[in-house]
Amino acid sequence: MNTFKIEKRTGTYGELLETYGFANLLSKIFYSCNISDAEIIISDKGVYYEVSTNITITDEMIERLSYFPPFRYVKQKIDSDISQLPDYFDYPVQREWKKERQALLNQAYKECQGKERERRIDEIERIFDNEKRIDFTLDVYAQIITPNNFPSFDKLYQNLSLNKELFTQFISEIIHTYGESNYVNKEFDKKTKGISFSKNVTATQLYNPSQGQGVNKLKADGLNRKNFDSSWISESLKVSGALSDMICQLVKVGNSYDLKVFVPEYRQVNYQNKSRLIPKFKKYLKGNTPIEIDILNILLLTQMVIQHSEFMGRKKVKDIVTGLHSVYQKDLGQNKAVVNIGFIRVPDFIEIGSKEENQIWIDILEEQKRIIGSIKELGYTIQGLLLYRNFISGSDIDSFFKFSYWYAIYLSTRISNKKYARPFSIETLNQIYKCMDTNELKLSGIISNVGFKAVAHAIRESTITLQTIASLKKQDKANSLQLEKLGLYSIRYGVAQNLQRKSKSSEELAEYIGGFIALYNAETAGKSETKGKSFRANVREDELLAFYTLLEQSKSSKLIGALLASYGFALKAKDSNKQEDLGNSGFGDENEEEQF
């Protein structure tokens, strides 16, 4: 056999973990048999997942196998003696290394700035990449050792560990279960009678989010305190798949921490490439609030797929990875309850292409991570974060327009208060709108219109550009010309709110823009006459006429207003980067201690 099927039964990541666990098992079999040229492919076939390989698995191959554990056991306490095991995960040591790393990072962020901070962080990362290497499975083992999860984990490990003489028959049973339809082996049941073997185990909620206590009845005619039982094969593979491909992140809610679980889903992926992705993915995880980590994780996943796409040719990211399964578990003290099961899709407008094209998207996604990571998830920011999540996960341009209004107001307020906020770059907006252009929206025609560009520039020069200059900490000779510019012109506040309000009709928007440009031109000309110099040019009559013509021809004044809000509060990439002078970006809350 070389093709295996795992049926989708629950619509959650449960069967996906089972699939990844089965691929892990095949990899172990090939390694044990010294087969180095094996290729394992995981595919989503709609109603089932498929694992295929170029090497045929034969009964003779299985019979030659020596025992290997399906996954590593875990040492729970410092004084636990499990040294007789061939391999195990030392949780106490790993946890201490994680705490030590976090404490050193906190100290670096507190004591250092700029280049010195970067140097200190690099030194810390080198230590924990080499001398004290933190295993990428720590987050999952931290959940496995809890009282609700460990008993099932222990039973599944001991099934094979205590019955090594039957190991090849266990492996054969697993292989045939997924390789043959309606497979039943009555002889296997006979051989496992009278031995220490758990044929059925509890379907643990960590791997089976739809099967927790009280939510497991097929018909909603009452609550049932009893958990489902599941096959030892299925649950063993889910544990293996969780350790290789599950991401567990604690999210801060008040003074406590809930849990968010993520599992990536691919359309088709090579096993070796997938196996390299998750350890690197976990290394760059940031954030500790629910909506923020949804956004940051899908941006990071998209970025990493592009970075490792040399072999993939030209195709959209969504044709490689579809997104992240997401489960939110509320902390109830002794237990956790699943309160949300969802799926966050990768943007469907991002396409992998040449090396240069890929680098553009990598830079854009890095910029977006910094912007979102700097927004603290509080009451007044939740609306903006939800709009951005709807945009990035649903590729919903309307949500991005609404976010543009919200972010322009947020950005202006933050910078006025001399707090960090990073503007979008004009180059990023150009790329996003170019990729989301349609015959109905005609975005490229709008943003390239000379009138639109002139009006957006005037808004920018009256708002974010002046605010950025005013917020710079380093007000030295290098900034003298910029400071002189600040002294010439007045910052215009409330522009984003007015654009949103006035864009309800073409007439109102035209009237507002006409008044705005009249004041802008008058101030520009007046300062030029009194000071004998000007740092900005007027909006010419032909440019304003071009804008009015565009507005008249456009089917939506709301679209024009939203685009003005996004471009009017964006800067060129080199100017946007100046906001880093305001200090720590706050990206990812690196200075907050992680909990386990």
Torsion angles phi and psi, residue 41, rounded to 5: -120, 130
The rounded distance, in Å, linking the Cα atoms of 376 and 456 is 28
Domain boundary among 214, 244, 274: 244
**Which pLDDT belongs to residue 172?**
95
**pLDDT class of 312 with cuts at 50, 70, 90:** low
Per-chain mean pLDDT for the chain = 88
Do 403 and 391 fall into the same domain?
Answer: no
pLDDT value of position 217: 53
Q: Residue 595 contacts by C-beta under 8 Å, 6 or more apart in sequence?
A: 250, 257
Residues 6+ apart with CB under 8 A from 412: 463, 464, 467, 493, 495, 496, 569
DSSP state of 425: B
Instruction: Give the model confidence (pLDDT) of 131-154 as tens digits.
Output: 899 999 999 999 999 999 999 999
- Is residue 90 included in any domain, yes or no? no
Query: What's the whole-number mean pLDDT along residues 558-583?
Result: 80
Of 475 and 303, the one with more pLDDT = 303
Q: 136, 279 in Cβ contact below 8 A?
A: yes
- Using the predicted structure, report yes or no on whether residue 532 has a pLDDT greater than 60: no
344: pLDDT strictly greater than 80: yes
What secondary structure does DSSP assign to 376-389, as a single string?
---TTTHHHHHHHH
Q: Determine contact, residues 52/5, Cβ cutoff 8 Å.
A: no
Residue 124 inside a domain? The answer is no
Task: Judge if 240 and 250 occupy the same domain.
Answer: no
Q: Do both 18 and 144 map to the same domain? A: yes
**8 and 152 co-located in one domain:** yes
For the chain, the distance separating the N- and C-terminal CA atoms, rounded to the nearest angstrom, is: 42
In this predicted structure, what is the pLDDT of residue 335?
82
CA distances in angstroms from 499 to 37, 407, 459, listed in the order given: 61, 13, 11
Give all strands (DSSP E) within 10-85, no chain letters: 40-44, 48-53, 73-75
DSSP E strands, 220-282: 229-231, 247-253, 256-266, 268-270
**Residue 131 belongs to some domain of the structure:** no
pLDDT attached to residue 596: 39
Domain range spanning residue 338?
246-395
| 436 and 332 inside one domain | no
So what's the pLDDT on residue 369? 95
| Amino acid letter, 75 | K
How many domains would you assign to the chain? 3
- Statement: residue 585 has pLDDT above 50: no
Is 110 inside a domain boundary? no
Task: Identify the domain boundary among 340, 366, 395.
Answer: 395
Domain ends where: 244, 278, 298? 244
Tell me the pLDDT tens digit for each residue of 408-425.
999 999 988 888 889 999
pLDDT in tens, 431-440: 999 999 988 8
Q: Give the DSSP H or E segment for 552.
A: helix 541-553
- What distance lies between CA 428 and its chain's CA centroid? 19
- Find out whether 340 and 260 touch, Cβ atoms under 8 Å: no
> So what's the pLDDT on residue 254?
80
Pick 462 or 468 by higher pLDDT. Answer: 462
Nearest to 394 by CA among 437, 327, 440, 344: 344
Taking residue 195's Cβ as centre, other Cβ atoms within 10 Å add up to 11
- Kindly state whether residues 353 and 217 are assigned to the same domain: no
Picking from 90, 68, 244, 71, the residue whose alpha carbon sits closest to that of residue 153 is 71
Q: What is the pLDDT of residue 524?
A: 87
* Token pair for 508: 């109102």
Mean pLDDT of 220-242: 81
Residues 390 and 401 in one domain: no
Which of 304-308, 313-317, 395-399 ranks highest by mean pLDDT? 395-399
Helix (H) or strand (E) holding 566: helix 557-568
- Asked if 305 and 417 sit in the same domain, the reply is no
Report how far residue 206's alpha carbon sits from residue 12's, in angstroms, rounded to the nearest whole number. Answer: 11
Q: Quick one: average pLDDT of 63-89?
A: 91
Whether 221 has a pLDDT exceeding 60, the answer reads no
> What pLDDT, on the 0 to 100 scale, is given for residue 420?
86
Domain assignment present for 108: no
Q: Are residues 226 and 336 in the same domain?
A: no
Instruction: Say whether both 276 and 425 belong to one domain.
Output: no
Q: At residue 99, does pLDDT exceed 90?
A: yes
Backbone phi, psi, residue 75, to 5°: -85, 115
Percent of the chain with pLDDT over 90: 69
Mean pLDDT, residues 1-16: 94
Cβ contacts of 217 within 8 Å, gap of 6 or more: 223, 224
Of residues 252 and 424, which shows the higher confidence score?
424
Range name among 298-312, 487-501, 517-531, 561-575 with the lowest pLDDT average? 517-531
Mean pLDDT on 55-84: 92
Reply yes or no on whether the pLDDT at 479 is more than 90.
no
Q: Answer yes or no: do 33 and 153 share one domain.
A: yes
Kindly report, residue by residue over 14-26, the tens digit of the pLDDT.
999 999 999 999 9
